[in-house]
A and B are shown apart, each in its own frame.
Chain A
Amino acid sequence: MEKVIEISNLSFGYGERLILEDMSFSVEKGDFVGVIGPNGSGKSTLLKLLLRQIKPIKGEIKLLGQNIEKFNQWNKIGYVAQKASSFNTSFPATVEEVVSANLFPQIGLFKRIKSKHRELVYKALETVGMEDYKDRLIGNLSGGQQQRVFIARVLVSEPELIFLDEPTVGIDSESEGALYCLLGRLNQERGITIVMVSHDIGAVTVHANKIACMGNKGLVMNENTEEFAKNSLREIYGHDVNLHAHKHCCTNCWKKGAI
Chain B
Amino acid sequence: MFGIFGEDFILNLGFMQRAYFIGLLIAIMAPAIGVIVVLRRQSMIGDSLAHTSLAGVAFGLIAGINPIVGATLFSITAALGIEKIRRAFPKYAEVSIAVIMSTGIGLAGILSGYVKSGFSLSSYLFGSIIAISDFELLIIGVLSIVVIATFAALFKELFFITFDEEAARLAGVPVKIINFIFAVLTAVTIAVSSRIVGTLVISSLLVLPPASAMQVAKSFKQTIVYSLLYGIFSIVTGLTLSFYLDMVPGGTIVLISVICLVLTLVYKNLLKGLIVKKTLVKAN
Contact = CB atoms under 8 A, between A and B. Distances in A.
B160 A109 contact: no
Contacts of B171: 74-75, 101-102, 104-105, 157
Contact of B157 (A77, A104, A153): A104
Interface in B159-187: 159-160, 162-164, 166-173
A102 B157 CA distance: 10
Contacts of B137: none
Contacts of B157: 104, 109
B11 to A, nearest CB: 35
Interface string B195-228: 0000000000000000000100111111100000
A91 interface: yes
Nearest to B210: A92
A115 interface: no
Contacts of A107: 156
Interface in B125-168: 153-154, 156-157, 159-160, 162-164, 166-168
A190 B173 CA distance: 26
Where chain B touches its partner, the secondary structure class is helix
B39 interface: yes
**Most chain A CB neighbours (cut-off 10 Å) among B156, B160, B168:** B156
A87 interface: yes
B214 to A, nearest CB: 6
A51 interface: yes
Nearest to B153: A110
Given A74-B171, A79-B170, A92-B217, A98 B153 contact: no
A97 B39 CA distance: 15
Interface string A63-98: 000000000001101010100001110111110011
Nearest to A78: B170
Given A91-B39, A93-B219, A94-B219, A74 B156 contact: no
A52 to B, nearest CB: 9
Given A92-B220, A109-B153, A110-B153, A98 B163 contact: yes
Interface in A97-142: 97-98, 101-102, 104-105, 107, 109-110, 113, 135, 137
Given A92-B214, A107-B156, A109-B157, A97 B167 contact: no
B225 to A, nearest CB: 12
Nearest to A156: B171
A39 interface: no
B31 to A, nearest CB: 14
Interface residues of A, number: 29
B150 to A, nearest CB: 10
A113 B220 CA distance: 14
Contact of A137 (B154, B159, B163, B218): B218
A94 B163 contact: no
Contact of A97 (B153, B159, B172, B214): B159
Interface in B210-262: 214, 217-223
A29 B160 CA distance: 29
Contacts of A113: 156
A91 B170 contact: no
Contacts of B217: 92
Interface string A140-174: 00000000000001000100000000000000000
A74 B164 contact: no
A107 B156 CA distance: 10
A153 B171 CA distance: 10
A188 to B, nearest CB: 25
The 5 closest A-B pairs by CB, nearest first: A105-B172, A101-B160, A94-B219, A93-B220, A92-B223
13 contacts: A74-B171, A75-B171, A79-B170, A81-B166, A86-B167, A87-B164, A91-B39, A92-B39, A92-B222, A104-B171, A107-B156, A135-B218, A137-B218
Given A75-B171, A91-B163, A101-B171, 7 more contacts: A86-B166, A92-B220, A92-B223, A105-B173, A109-B154, A137-B218, A157-B171
Interface of B: 39, 153-154, 156-157, 159-160, 162-164, 166-173, 214, 217-223
